[in-house]
Amino acid sequence: MSILEEVFKWTTTLPPWQSDAVARLLTKVDLDQNDDADLLALLYSANGIPDPQGRTAKPLSQDQVPVAAAPESAVLLHAMKQLHHVNAIASDQSVTVAPTGLTVIYGDNGSGKSGYSRVLKRACRARDQSEPIHPNANLPVSQGGVAQATFEISVNGVDQEVVWRLDAAPPAELSSIAVFDARCAKAYLEQENDFSYVPYGLDVFGSLARLSQRLKLKVDQQVLTSAVDLGAFAHLRGETAVGRQIATLTGKSKPEMIEALASLSAEELARRADLETSLKENNPREKAQALRIRARRWATLASKVAEQEARLSDAALAVVRQAADEYRTAKAAAELAAKLHSDGEKLLPGTGGEAWRELYEAAKRFAAQVDSDKAIGDLTPEDACLLCQQPLKEGAARMHRFEAFVQAEAEKLHAAKKGALGAVYVPMTKQAIALGLDEALLLALRSEDEELADGLPIHEAALLARQQSIRKAAESNDWSGVLSAAAIFSQRLSQLSAQLDLSAKALEEASDEAARKAMQAELGELDARVQLGLVKDAVLSAVAKLAYITKLKACLPALRTNGISTKASELAEQVVSKELADALNREFAALRVHALRVSAQSRSERGKPLHRLRLELPQSRTPSEILSEGEQRAIAIASFMAEISLNAQTSGIVFDDPVCSLDHRRRELVAKRLVEEAAKRQVIVFTHDLYFLKLLADDGKRLGVSVQTQSVSRQQQGFGVTSADLPFEGKTSSQRVGFVKTIQVLAAKAYGLNDQENYQIQTVRAYTLLRLAWERSVEEVLLRNVVIRFRKSVDTQRLAGVTVSDEDYARVNEGMTKCSNYAHDRAEIAGIALPDPDELLADILSFESFIKEVNARSLTTESARRKGAGVVA
């Protein structure tokens, strides 16, 4: 199992925020402040501190870790094509890669080269994935999409295609292709007189430990800034419920308990006032007696008001309305019966009606007075009429019928309902509303409750108005005009009476020593609650801070580095070996990184396994003072090469601008080392350094390793346009001849079409480049690359083939002079006519002939000189 696979397995045992941290450390060169802020928020969330931004952890996934290929396996890259939505790279571009040897992809800054390298880093699960891949910013958002690319590869000789998408797991096969970046086998400089090297993959432990230290400092600082001064509440401590709550105040204290203690009801506030007053009284019993007299006075008034309120209440009104309705129904029935009884007789109008009934009842009462033994129904025709005193005669029979009518059921019901109505209606409407309010009573009430004293007369008037409205409604049988029930004042009077009784009781208790102590304790409790109410918000804030601090402290165990150190040491024992030390020493020597030697001494410091590389220098200085940036870069390359050299696989390796920050001499060493590796496996190099490309080509030729070159450039159709040719600056003299010939063809075409402007442009361009070709030929052809611009060394061995004749000087001078006449459009300025296409072609062929002749002569000269000097080529 590889180091990174071991790291992934370990992260499955970590909390999500820490696994997220490892995922970030494996994809970014350095974590920035935003990463630290994100991870701190995730740590807080894991311990109950909400994140306002709602961030969630993204633990390391298997897709982010290279898959370990079988030993002796080989995954080779043949082409990267069909790139879509990758920066501004033009469509239908393809980068081809030689299956063996060295492939160099050249591109100037801003050419689109980085787009290809970023895709390779993501697809091959390289360590450095910090550079984002954006869609083409020149296209509308609607035409955007997910970055993707197709790779032609072979796995152990079997060809296949795999597709990579930015939003999906990278193909497992591609993870066998190693990509060099600044994080591979990164070296760290410590503040001590040694150099600490951490193998690729193990450095994540050191980074994670440093992250933990940074986050711990932030948590500790937050704990300090959130500290609570509980001394501000010292005056509340004591034997009261509030005092005990404050004395034991922690983050677990319940805010609702503090809210309840700090909130006093009106009754509790009144009780507190009574207790204060009672405890201050000199003669509490006498004062209590006076209070009870006042309480009874208001209780009596409350009873009287309650009686009037009840008499005119909605419930009483409902009873009256029901009785009135029943009475009217019974009356209608009685009237109907009277009408039926009198039908066929000539009776006075109104007979059987209300007035007639009253008259009849009066007659019955009068008859009983005249003769108590003789009812009205017993009267005979000889008896006198009770009203006119004349003999009844035939009227006696009519009286008998009247009595029968009155005794009928309808009339009985009518009488009963009338009585029932009177029983409830008369008390409600006939009895006067009288609360007994006078000036003395109201003055006394005002001393108790001014608002109540002002409102009671108004209440009395409201009751009277309601009574009158009920009377009118009953008479008209229209209840819509009944006024609403007045407010309940009796209850407020009863409360006043009860409060006076409580005050009296408190005074009575104050006269008893035991009761007095209880009252003092009760007052103390209420006083403490009042004081708590004054600082309640501060106390609640303190509780919140204490709870926050508790959660902050709960974060600290997760920031300990013991477990990180233990795991780092465990893995270090598996991967650090004598073979690795020997490989490192070989690579350091090859790149001439001072006199660094690996001594296999293992130790662990804050999560970082260290293997000491002693600087064999007499100066007592730190490595950062001795090693330049270029030397540190060289150490990284050497470490990468050492580790892959111990891998039994022979899959391809990719270098993205490996010689940044390197001087010319070290570039030569790196070029040689990469070509040597290309003799064993596929090596792919992205570079923007033409000199480095030249070094790779020369070393490839010298060591017999094939070097395939191509370029990417910015063209009209977009960035990253690929070409099998290098730009003009990277071409040899012979290749430059072919390029200038293509321009001559364009010039001849324009000449034939009489397109003078384009012809002039192409001709001037051709002579400008031909002039550069003559310059390059002096270095490359005439002097046989003995001296190369920017190369520090002089290759004296190549002098064997160098001869410079007078004719060479004349031809070079003539060619340069003629080209200079037309380069940069100087011909028009000097009034010199441009040559025709045939003359331009002749000048190009003359230069080509010069190259061939000098090369042939140089080979002959070199052979002769070496034989003459006894030198074996």
Distance CA 355, CA 373 (A): 27
CA nearest to 453, candidates 467, 439, 463: 439
DSSP symbols for 153-208:
EEETTEEEEEEEETTSPPPGGGGGSEEE-TTTT-EE--SSSSEEE--TTTHHHHHH
Phi (first) and psi of residue 30, to 5 degrees: -145, 145
Residue 246 has pLDDT above 90, yes or no: no
pLDDT of residue 70: 65
pLDDT digits (tens, 9 = 90+) for 192-244: 445 556 677 777 888 899 899 999 999 999 999 888 888 888 888 888 998 88
Residue 572 has pLDDT above 50, yes or no: yes
- Strand runs (DSSP E) across 695-847, as ranges? 707-715, 718-723
pLDDT of residue 613: 47
pLDDT of residue 725: 80
Assign 873 a pLDDT band (cuts: 50, 70, 90): very low
How many Cα atoms within 13 Å fall on the side-chain side of residue 33? 0
pLDDT of residue 192: 46
Q: Left, alpha or beta for 851 (phi > 0: left; psi -120 to 50: alpha)? A: alpha
Phi (first) and psi of residue 89, to 5 degrees: -65, 130
pLDDT of residue 636: 81
pLDDT of residue 862: 87
The least confident of 294-308, 453-467, 610-624, 772-786 is 610-624
Residue 368 has pLDDT above 70, yes or no: no
pLDDT digits (tens, 9 = 90+) for 733-791: 888 999 899 999 999 999 999 999 999 999 999 999 999 999 989 988 998 888 877 66
pLDDT of residue 856: 92
More confident residue, 872 or 258: 258
SS3 701: helix
The least confident of 1-10, 415-424, 521-530 is 415-424
Phi (first) and psi of residue 346, to 5 degrees: -90, 90
Q: What would the mean pLDDT of 46-61 be, rounded to a whole number? A: 93
The least confident of 148-152, 468-472, 694-698 is 468-472
pLDDT of residue 600: 60
Residues 6+ away with beta carbon under 8 Å from 237: 243, 246, 247
3-state secondary structure 208-231: HHHHHHHHHHHHHHHHHHCCCCHH
Spell 499-521 as b/e; 16+ CB within 10 A means b.
bbbbbbbbbbbbbeeeeeeebee
SS3 479: helix
pLDDT of residue 288: 78
SS3 598: strand
The token duo for 689 is: 């350094």
Range from 492-501, 677-686, 828-837 that averages highest in pLDDT: 677-686
The token duo for 784 is: 């046989």
DSSP one-letter code for 345: S
pLDDT digits (tens, 9 = 90+) for 159-185: 999 999 998 889 988 888 988 876 654
Assign 97 a pLDDT band (cuts: 50, 70, 90): very high
Radius of gyration of the CA atoms of the chain, in A: 57
Residue 410 has pLDDT above 60, yes or no: no
pLDDT of residue 216: 94
Residues 6+ away with beta carbon under 8 Å from 267: none
pLDDT of residue 76: 94
pTM score, two decimals? 0.60
Range from 125-129, 267-271, 639-643 that averages highest in pLDDT: 267-271
Distance CA 402, CA 385 (A): 14
pLDDT digits (tens, 9 = 90+) for 838-854: 999 999 999 999 999 99
pLDDT of residue 607: 58
pLDDT of residue 190: 46
Q: Which residues pair with 655 in a beta bridge?
A: 180, 685
On average, the pLDDT of the chain sits at 81
Contact 421, 324 (CB under 8 A): yes
pLDDT of residue 55: 94
Contact 202, 571 (CB under 8 A): yes
CA nearest to 573, candidates 212, 204, 70, 199: 199
Using a pLDDT cut of 70, give the percent of the chain over it.
Answer: 79
pLDDT of residue 409: 52
Residue 28 has pLDDT above 70, yes or no: yes
The structure tokens 């506030």 sit at: 269
Q: How do strand 608-614 and strand 195-197 relate by DSSP bridges?
A: antiparallel
Assign 726 a pLDDT band (cuts: 50, 70, 90): confident
The least confident of 430-434, 545-549, 560-564, 568-572 is 430-434
* Strands across the sheet containing 75-84: 94-96, 75-84, 148-155, 158-165
pLDDT of residue 191: 42
Range from 325-329, 410-414, 785-789 that averages highest in pLDDT: 785-789
pLDDT of residue 754: 92
Contact 152, 123 (CB under 8 A): no
